[in-house]
Amino acid sequence: MDPGHLGTAFHGGGHYENFPVASWLLPAEMRGALLALYRFARTGDDLADEGNLAPEVRRAGLHALRIGLHGQNTQSVKPAEHQEIGSALRVELLARQLDIVQAEKLLGAFEMDVLHEPYPTISELMVYCRYSADPIGRIMLATAKIIDDPNADCPITAASDAICSGLQLVNFAQDMGQDCTRQRIYVPRQWWPEGWLPAAGAQALSDQVKHQWATQMARLGQDHLVRGAVLLNHIRRSARGPRMRLGLEIAMVIEGGLAISRRVLADPLAVWRKSPVLSRTDLAVIVLQAMMTFVHPHRHRT
């Protein structure tokens, strides 16, 4: 659930993130809410699929997050720190007159990941992205007051969803080999060769199939990112101070995701050996590209 592997490139974190949350570009007034969101999403993601925790331990941790998110903190629910993380996000959202619906969607995605099952079709995979990725962008936009209601569908939220889902899809392409080793297969069953099962592992897949899977997923993610760049038009029209900085942040996220997708497409078989990541040396190029994208959101369409 970490599209783009942008974390170390943008703020040196130990984890890779779908968004460089609370980075130096984000307006100061947004950072408290987005740090709380980051902790919530990072904790939930780790509970969902990191390490060797038993399913019941994972579910208990997610339950504690939910108890805190719903403001029902109780000493009988453990671990207490997970309740506190959920509660901190609730406080930040309510302070901005926002509800917890989108955060609850994230929890739903984490619960899907505890007992992961491959999705039959690309349409069903996109439903998963709607829960696992899209809420982050909606909460960011509502926190920045670019939208009033993160639960309402409109052209702005559609563009944001495209970016978030695009990052998620690029990450699936990027981590295809790693995920296959862990038997966490995000490639929809409709793409599988006849008779193949995850237990057989990547060694049972031909290079042609591996190439096809990585290429299709990267292109799908790339298409979503390019389509979502129209969001920058909405932000730029009212870009003053903090909003201008948020627009540049989003443009950097788009460019980071596109950079990863291009690396996957340049050598689709390489992702089965090692996931490509962005280094610090890529940052200057991405910043320049982001500035161009912020001014010309459609430049990647040519």
Gap between the Cα atoms of 168 and 164, Å rounded: 6
State CA 200 to chain mean position distance: 28
- Average confidence (pLDDT) over 216-236: 94
Cβ 93 vs Cβ 67: under 8 Å: no
Report domain extents, the chain.
3-28+119-301
pLDDT tens for residues 162-220? 999 999 999 999 999 999 999 999 999 999 999 999 999 999 999 999 999 999 999 99
Confidence check: pLDDT of 17 > 50: no
Give the pLDDT score at 16.
45
**Burial state string for 65-81 with b = 16 or more CB within 10 A and e = fewer than 16:** bbbbbeeeeeeebeeee
Question: What one-letter code names the amino acid at 220?
Answer: L
Question: For 3-28+119-301, which CATH superfamily applies?
Answer: Farnesyl Diphosphate Synthase (1.10.600.10)
Q: Which of 47-56, 199-208, 254-263, 267-276 has the lowest mean pLDDT?
A: 47-56
148: left (phi over 0), alpha (psi -120 to 50) or beta: alpha
Residue 301's pLDDT band (cuts 50, 70, 90) = low
Confidence check: pLDDT of 27 > 50: yes
Cβ 143 vs Cβ 33: under 8 Å: yes
As a 3-state breakdown, the chain gives helix, strand, coil percent values, each rounded to 5, of 70, 0, 30
